[in-house]
Structure 1
Amino acid sequence: MKKQDRRAVIVGAGPGGLAAAVLLAKSGVKVTVVEKRGQVGGRTSTIERDGFKFDTGPTFFLYPQVLKEIFAAAGYDLDREVPMTRLDPQYRLVFGAGGELLATPNVERMEQAIAAISPEDARRFHQFLNHNRNKLAKFLPFLQSPFESWRDLAKPDMLKLLPLLAPWKSLDGDLQTHFQDERIRLGFSFQSKYLGMSPFRCPSLFSILSFLEYEHGVFHPTGGCGSVTRAMARIAEELGVEFLLDEPVERVMVERGKAVGVKTANHTLSADAVVVNADFAGAMRRMVPNSARRKWTDERLAKKKYSCSTFMMYLGIDGRYDDVSHHTIYLEKNYKQNLRDIEELHELSAEPSFYVQNASVTDPTLAPAGQSTLYVLLPVTHESDKVDWARETPRFRELAIRQMEKIGITGLEGRIRTEKILTPSGWAADFDLYKGATFSMAHSLDQMLHLRPHNRFEDIDQMYLVGGGTHPGSGLPVIFESARITSRLLLEDLEIEPQWEPQSNPMRGISLVGAAS
């Protein structure tokens, strides 16, 4: 078989699968993307109801550099294909313990905002930025490389980083070296929720998340984040990628330990490689017989730690709340108890913290004239025997509406014109998320790097993984990085030269087998 006749099937049209489709097609592989839902994007898709548009999951775009490089490699300009607005302020933080912080990428104004709460901490803001700029620069090559065994962790360059990464510290513990006021630390650590984790358990490495916001910006794509994945799918099609929508994969076909294609109700698709861009635990249990998995068996998957879930409300309303920021995060005074309720007790908080996106103050395309959208997220436990969502949903909805009054969203009930609610049970049913965990496996130290499912799947030859369930982890820029790592490995195994690597850097394909944070 000629190299240009090589075929790959990608299971799932989420952002990681779409990025891999673009990169593989650009290198001459014949790619088919099989998606169970009727639209592309996975959790990065658009919900449309009664003329209103909502992001399903991610509501902002962080560190667009990775996707810019992927678009450029395919011959496209991200800025032209997907117009984005850099937000300033980036978001408003409201503390139940008192005070608030209007987070801005303008360093001088941010220092002033911090000083209004803690003058001493304001003087340390520059120190925080410099420390994390150094941390990111030195760790970036490892985020851009596959981790396939403990030997990758034991490389001399990695061992030299240990004092800087301080893996023995939590994120909050690391921030204590910069900020004394707990509210300020929460302002630079709530981003651990992007990984579905508590800042008191999340590894200290992830202080780079808040740094990325201030250094590289928080962006709103016009039309929402779903516009990004729609553009990616269009580009993939222009490169020759075939899409099969409304086509759930029943099983990955495995012969003599190798993935040789996939089976759906309507198609049997043979392939030289299968890329799975679906929730890892859910996909393995549904698509791959337990007997075919040596390491990642059902029994082992059940013992792993999983992220939190989210209770979602997508509300189309009359009028607008112009005094409410594009992004608002409310951190209850009992925030630590909120986290304990989620991670340890697996029950619902009496006064939950929450997040609201009021994107219509920036983007009028999301709602009919004179109306607007509200996206409301409350972090909650993943599926648990302690919470019956069929019974709890009405009560928790009322609680969420009362909580929103704390950020100035009053009189909401009478203004709602369309509404959709998604609970952990809904995430599990509609998106095949194991336990309804919206951020896949937790990013604890014992489930990171080589201890996460590998990009080149270790249980089955010719099978590869992209997305938040594999290395490097969750979050859109990191997921795009996983696509670059996985695509390089797949092409290497097929003995095909990537057609999207910068020719001026011959070492990139050797030392950086993926790309970035």
Structure 2
Amino acid sequence: MNKEKTAIVIGAGPGGLAAAMLLAGKGYKVNVFEKQAYLGGRTSQVQLGEYRFDRGPTFLMVPHLLEELFSSVDRRLDHYVKLIELDPLYRLKFGELEFSPSRHSAQTEEQIERLFPGNGQGYRRFMQEEGKKYQRVMPLLQRPFSKLQDYMAKDVFAALPKLNAVGTVYQRLGRYFTDERLKYAFSFQSKYLGMSAWECPGTFTILSYLEHKYGLFHPVGGVNQICQAMAQVIEEYDGHIHLATGVKQVLTKNKKVVGIQLENGERLEADHVVINADFSTAMNTLFAEGELKKFSPAKLAKKKYSCSTFMLYLGVNRSIHMPHHNVLFAQNYEKNVREITTTKILSEDASLYVHNPSALDPTLAPAGKSALYVLLPVPNLTADINWQEKQEQVREAVLTRLEQEPELRGISSAIEEQEILTPLDWQEKQFVYRGATFNLAHSLDQMMTLRPHNRFEELDNCWLVGGGTHPGSGLPTIFESAKISTQLILEQDRSQIQRFKKQKNVVGEEASVWR
């Protein structure tokens, strides 16, 4: 029992890297295996010539949670990454009307009252009531929910009156705001979960609260630099990250995970295996046929999944003078969201998100040029859309919409570099099941103990991190999943050591009697 404990992490996404960093910092011998030739998974970097982009997440909120993650292994986040606070948070466009809130609540309230008369007081109530809810809900996002008894705890009973889990995000916002555009401004964050505000549980109004309370930040070099920083810490603790090294199968014995087999045939043993690969892809591909019962292919197919995204990464040969984050709302936003999530068709009138980080961060594009990131929410691959046929048509529609913005006129002729990522690409190139960019949906029947558990239910010594387990998708909760799972590993190993010591003491006492 004195031997060094070993852990294998499958996938070098943010959850896997966070778990590896925490375990390495606690003395575990850690090896991370990543199928891609680069770090980060959906939070990786895209490089096109001299232009650099975040592949997926571009919003970094509640940085103090990330700082705590680093400090738990005796490191400081600011020694690895420079964060720049954004002010305003973003620009939201409803036709000709522009709303640019900040975390300076007095300024935001004044702007709301000017643009949406009579709603300033509602904003004040939103910040007060949602702040109380956040304080009650946060403890539930920082511990496991593995069995029904986990609900019988003080923090759950304290949170219940504030959870708002029965209603939806949109319904909840009706308590605060009368203007539909303002409701959209505080509900579009449901898209971070890949869900509709008309379906997403009302609990998740805390997402917009977090932005308004704690602000949004840009790491120099992009959000992907958080993954680079964690990888550096892992290596400082003698952990090893193996890129372009795919895992073929998780090895088991007597309902316990004992190691992995790599795609090159090599077999490696470990005390623990942590799975950070896309949840449903991992369940479908990493285990022997018939080994899993609860997460069999047939049962996985019946689960609910998030929407997908159509991505455009554009290297543009001119400076773009627009804010860092921009959301261009469809004229009929509710119809647009319904088409993405329910009827599952491509909207003629669609909302767009435009990220313009090189205006703030000169490391992302050559001087006088811009790295522009454009995201169009679209249905996942359960929709009857042939992306090989539709890709160019959708690209043209997106560019036509961008050309309507004053800062982006003529953008089509200024493109030097371009990459497209469709839902089909998310599945085939990024190994995301059904192209569901935000993983399993966050419906009430797929949350907390009803979500795949951090301690994998079907096999011992197997652990889950990432958006497919509790507490869910989105970077802050993905980091919390790593904290929860690694804490469970530490507790299990401490318990085993204590049992071993007790057994050793008993044997020693029996031997002394015979002497």
State the TM-score, normalizing by the size of structure 2: 0.94
2 CA distance for matches of 1:109 and 1:71? 33
- Letter of the 2:205 counterpart: S
Q: Shift of the alpha carbon at 1:289?
A: 2.7
How far apart in 1 are the matches of 2:34 and 2:42? 12
SS at match of 1:224: coil
Q: Which residue of 2 aligns with 1:295?
A: 294
Query: Residue in 2 aligned with 1:488?
Result: 487
Give the C-alpha shift of residue 290 in structure 1.
4.3
Tell me what 2:284 maps to: 285
Q: Cα deviation per residue 1:116-152 (whole Å; 9 max; x = unaligned)? A: 3322111221111111111111111111110012222
**1:471 aligns to what?**
470
Using the alignment, how far apart are the partners of 2:476 and 2:409 within structure 1?
35
Of the candidates 318, 327, 340, which is equivalent to residue 342 of structure 1?
A: 340
Query: 1:91·1:326 contact (CA, 8 Å) conserved in 2?
Result: yes
Give CA-to-partner distance per residue, 1:195-252, whole Å, 9 cap, x none. 0001111011111111111111100000001111111101101111111110111110
What secondary structure sits across from 1:161 in the alignment? helix
* Aligned twin of 1:506: none
Report the AA paired with residue 192 of structure 1.
Answer: S
Q: Secondary structure at the match of 1:369?
A: coil
Counterparts of 2:391 and 2:443, CA distance in 1: 30
- Which position in structure 1 is the counterpart of 2:49? 50
2:319 corresponds to: 320
SS in 1 for 2:403: helix
TM-score with structure 1 length normalisation?
0.93
Cross-structure match for 1:432:
431
Q: Distance in 2 between matches of 1:384 and 1:170?
A: 24
Aligned residues: 495
Separation (CA, whole Å) in 2 of partners of 1:442 and 1:296: 16
Instruction: Give the partner amino acid of 2:180.
Output: E
Equivalent residue runs for 1:106-185 within 5 Å: 106-185=104-183
Distance in 1 between the 2:79 and 2:130 partners? 31
- Give RMSD over aligned pairs: 1.5
1:342-366 deviation line (CA, Å, top 9, x unaligned) = 1112211111111000111110110
Shift of the alpha carbon at 1:385? 5.1
Residue 328 (structure 2) aligns with: 330
Distance change (3 Å), C-alpha of 1:497 and 1:124: farther
In the alignment, which residue of structure 2 is the partner of 1:232?
230
Give the drift of 1:496.
7.2
Q: Distance in 2 between matches of 1:196 and 1:497?
A: 40
Q: Which residue of 2 aligns with 1:452?
A: 451
Indicate the SS of the match to 1:413: helix
2:89 aligned residue:
90
SS at match of 1:158: helix
Q: Aligned AA for 1:122?
A: G
Once residues 83 and 274 of structure 2 are traced to their aligned partners in structure 1, the CA distance between those partners, rounded to angstroms, is: 30
Q: Structure 2 matches for 1:270-419, cutoff 5 A?
A: 270-322=269-321, 324-384=322-382, 386-408=384-406, 409-419=408-418
Offset at residue 103 of structure 1 (A) = 1.6
- How far 1:156 moved relative to its partner? 4.9
Partner Cα distance (2:324, 2:456) in 1? 40
Q: Which residue of 1 aligns with 2:29?
A: 30
SS of residue paired to 2:460? coil
2:76 aligned with 1:72: no
CA contact (8 A) 1:257 1:292 kept: no
Give the superposition deviation at 1:384.
3.1
Report which of the two structures shows the higher radius of gyration computed on alpha carbons: 2
Runs of 4+ aligned residues of structure 1 deviating over 3 Å after TM superposition are 154-157
Structure 2: runs of 5 or more not aligned: 498-515
- AA aligned to 1:279 is D
Offset of residue 95 of structure 1:
1.2
List per-residue Cα deviations over 1:413-459 (Å, max 9, x = no partner).
11000000000000001111110000000001110000000000001
- Measure the CA separation in 2 of the matches of 1:343 and 1:111: 32
Deviations, residues 243-270 of structure 1 (Å, cap 9, x unaligned): 1110111110111111111111232111
Identity of aligned residues (%): 44
Question: Residue 489 of structure 1: SS of its match in structure 2?
Answer: helix
